[in-house]
Amino acid sequence: MANEKASASRDAIYEALHDHIQAEVLLRDEALGADEDLFDAGFDSMSLTRILVFVEERFGTVIPDEDVVLDEIETLKKLTDFVHGYVGQPS
Amino acid sequence: MSEPAVPTNGWRPSLKALTARGEVVALQSDGETTTYAQLAGRAEAIANALIDAGVQTGDHVALLSAGRGHDEAAGLLGVILAGGVVVPLHHGAPRAQIANVMRAANCRAIVHDEKSAAHVRDIGAPDPPLRVELDDEGFVLASLGVIADATGPPSPGIACILHTSGSTGMPKAVPMRWEGIDAFTSWMMKITRLEPRDRVLRVAELSFDLAWFDHLAAFRSGSTLLTMSRRQLSTARSIADQVRLLAPTVVYSVPSFFMRLCAGWPKHEALPNELHTICFAGEIFPPSELLALAHRAPNARLFNLFGPTETNVCTFHEVDRSSLDGQRETPIGTPAPYADCRLVDPSDPKILIEGVGTGELLVRGPTALGGECRTRDQVRRAEDGLFYFRGRLDRMVKIRGYRVDPSEVETALCTHPHVRQAAVIANEHPRFGMQLSAFVAADNEAKPESIRAHLSEHLPSYMAPQRLVLRTELPLTENGKVDYDALHPSG
């Protein structure tokens, strides 16, 4: 059950991040692939800040800037896992 | 060391001077090194490609590098050696805006990297007639097209045209003269005590005046320019990793860069010992964060540099470490030696404010656009004789050092077919600084995605609001104007 709940909330995080990044960070029409490199897709040095603010406002979780490691956020899938580690704790 | 006096034009990079530096390292980044001899060779090849295709002295040439590799410096020098005026394009700018900027600036050619090739092709024919494509080391891959028509009227003495946010809905073009760049770089080389053994970290985009210090002062003094990719610049930890690896001695950037560097650096550990000069500009350094940086860099001299793009740096202040208490405001200091700075009455610039008082900063000198510039910055001359920044006379704000006029964002929003009215406010996020919130009065058919998409066609990414709130009506004052005080970022 715990797994199910965690996976459900992971999906919710994935969806929220996908929509936010596509429409509000990368500002593009095409859907974003789970393994697409976000930096090749057009991330700049301010994009990550926008996402951390979004996560803070949507999920009420503060992720410190210094905790973010490049390898863990460079695709939507990895980013979702990373954010899930802070947000999606099954209670 | 005495420079040859060139009173009308000012210093500019030459092939001879670059080549003479030989095997000294000109550019360094993670895993890549380019010597001055190599850089000179690549720049010469780019200049030749431009000249062979018909670029003439004074022609405007756009520069775009998506990868921020060594191609960017080679391209910059190539355009300069060809006698062109550099028009740096912002990587995050939408295609339509790039096309508009290139058309408005009358660019006759574009030099770009391989990574931005698809983007450039999509800008749309026939602009520009000539494309020179570089690989990430700065070698010419292809030169497509020729300039057949007669050249336009030359812009004598102009080095580059930068673009910054304006209120009209189009980026504002700010030409910078060689004479001003000469005055600025030679003075900066003095205060940073720049020598050939120095390592200058470049952070800013070339479309930003800070990067013109990094490139031109480094190449003029024969020191090494250190570069980082956008990917490396995007997290606090990767910034710290690169600073450790590249070991800069001089860094000129915005406060938010230094704050992220400190956040990513191991706690209780000092920044590299070699770092002897830190210059910051572009936004206010929160006093507690400046104190933290000073503790982390015990050997570095700290300079607060001030001035809008239209004047480049016009005042400066060397921070007195003993005065840092984490609360007191840092002055913007005293005029740079080439800048004649006065305070005037904003409603009548003929009225001079002398002695202690507050007014609009007016700057004259070689770096000022048109020789004289009303900055719209409100500045106080205090009892200690130093200048203090007191805010803007218009609504312009700084977002991570990028200047943004909220009315430019409003203008862009209002051109959407379903938007009747728009109001954009800036608010301070406790960790990430200024952010924009946009409120729009729209009809029932308006969709946020469509408004976002519309913005992306008209504004660079750093101007996109963090929040977009759709309403049927915006709150109005008794006079029928938008009541900005009644708008809150929470929606």
In 3-state terms, what secondary structure has residue B426?
strand
Model confidence at B151, pLDDT cuts 50, 70, 90, reads low
Of A37, A32, A47, A40, which is closest to residue B235 (Cα–Cα)? A47
Residues B426 and B340 in one domain: no
Cβ A24–B452 below 8 Å, yes or no?
Answer: yes
pLDDT tens digits, B62-93: 999 988 999 999 999 999 999 999 999 987 77
Mean pLDDT of B287-311: 95
CA-nearest residue of chain B to A65? B236
In a domain, B20, yes or no: no
- Asked whether A26 and A41 are in contact (CB, 8 A), the reply is yes
- Tell me the pLDDT band of A32, cut-offs 50, 70 and 90: confident
Asked if B462's CB is within 8 angstroms of A46's CB, the reply is: yes
pTM (global) more than 0.80: yes
Q: In this structure, are B449 and B303 located in the same domain?
A: no
Take residue B337 and report the two structure tokens written for it. 């030696």
Residue in A24, A45, A53 closest to B234 by CB = A45
* Residue B85 CB contacts under 8 Å (≥ 6 apart), including other chains: B58, B59, B60, B61, B79, B155, B158, B159, B160, B161, B175
Res. B127 pLDDT band, cuts 50 70 90: low
Residue B98 parent element (H or E):
helix B95-104
pLDDT level of residue B490 (50, 70, 90 thresholds)? low
List the single best residue of A22, A49, A63, A71 to mutate versus B (max B Cβ within 10 A): A49
Q: What is the CATH number of the domain that holds B146?
A: 3.40.50.980
- B351, two tokens: 């009225």
Q: Could you say which of B359, B392, B425 is where a domain stops?
A: B392
- What is the predicted pLDDT for the residue at A89? 62
**Rounded distance between C-alpha atoms, residue A26 and residue B245, angstroms:** 30
- The answer to whether position B400 is within a domain reads no
Count of A-B CB contacts under 8 Å: 78
Same domain membership, residue B245 and residue B339: yes
Q: Count the domains in chain B.
A: 3
* Chain mean pLDDT for chain A: 81
What is the longest distance spanned by two Cα atoms in chain A?
39
Residue B24 lies in a domain: no
**Residues B107 and B149 both lie in one domain:** yes
Residue B365's pLDDT is 94
Whether residue B240 is found in the same domain as residue B384: yes
Residue B19 lies in a domain: no
In this prediction, residue B161 carries a pLDDT of 94
Structure letter (DSSP) for residue A24: I
Task: Work out the average pLDDT over B160-181.
Answer: 86
Residue A6 has pLDDT above 50, yes or no: no
Residue of B nearest to A63 (CA): B431
Mean pLDDT value across residues B33-62: 96
Percent of chain B residues past pLDDT 90, beyond the cut = 64
Residues B371 and B244 in one domain: yes
Q: Considering the domain boundaries, does residue B334 fall inside one?
A: yes
CATH of the domain at B442: 3.30.300.30
Rg (CA), chain A: 13
Interval B377-392: pLDDT, tens: 999 999 999 999 998 8
B481 CB contacts (<8 Å, ≥6 apart)? none
Residue B438 within a domain? yes
**3-class SS of residue B27:** strand
Residue B62's identity, in one-letter code, is A
For residue A27, CA distances in Å to B113, B146, B308, B454, B465 come to 22, 34, 29, 9, 11
B350 belongs to a structural domain: yes
Collect all residues of chain B within an 8 Å Cβ-Cβ radius of residue A70: 231-232, 234-235, 237-238
- Cβ separation of B448 and A23 shorter than 8 Å? yes
Q: Are residues B353 and B432 in the same domain?
A: no
Domain boundaries along the sequence of chain A: 2-87
Please tell me whether residues B54 and B155 are part of one structural domain.
yes
Segment B94-115 shows an average pLDDT of: 87
Contact B230 A45 (CB under 8 A): yes
Confidence band of B166 (pLDDT split at 50, 70, 90):
confident
Q: Is the dihedral of CA B342, B357, B376, B430 positive or negative?
A: positive
The two tokens of residue A79 are: 């980013």
Query: Partners of B253 in the beta sheet?
Result: B280
The boundaries of the domain holding residue B446 are: 405-486
Chain A CA closest to residue B233: A45
Tell whether B412 and B469 lie within a shared domain: yes
Give B47→chain A minimum CA distance, Å. 29
Question: Looking at residue B139, what is its pLDDT?
Answer: 97
Residues in A lying within 8 Å of B, measured between beta carbons: 23-25, 27-29, 39, 42-50, 52-54, 62, 64-66, 68-70, 73-74
Asked if B140 and B166 touch (Cβ cutoff 8 Å), the reply is: no
Using a CB-CB cut-off of 8 Å, the residues of chain A touching B448 are 23
Enumerate the residues of chain A whose CB falls inside 8 A of the CB of residue B455. Answer: 27
Q: In angstroms, what CA-CA distances link B356 with A23, B51, B380, B386, B390?
A: 50, 54, 7, 9, 14
Contact A66 B234 (CB under 8 A): no
Domain A2-87 has CATH 1.10.1200.10: yes
Q: Do both B190 and B133 map to the same domain? A: no
Long-range contacts of B368-376 (CB under 8 A, 24+ apart): B368/B180, B368/B310, B368/B311, B368/B314, B368/B339, B369/B174, B369/B175, B369/B310, B369/B311, B373/B308, B373/B310, B373/B311, B374/B344, B374/B349, B375/B307, B375/B308, B375/B310, B375/B311, B375/B314, B376/B308
**Same domain for B281 and B382?**
yes
pLDDT surpasses 50 at A1: no
A31: closest CA of chain B, how far (Å) = 13
Residue B189 sits in the same domain as residue B332: yes
- A37 interaction partners in chain B (CB closer than 8 Å): none
At residue A27, the pLDDT reads: 67
| B243 confidence band (pLDDT: 50, 70, 90) | very high
Question: Closest by alpha carbon to B248, among B281, B221, B271?
Answer: B271
> Which of A19, A43, A44 is best to mutate for the B interface (most B CBs within 10 A)?
A44
Q: Looking at residues B465-480, what average pLDDT do you find?
A: 86
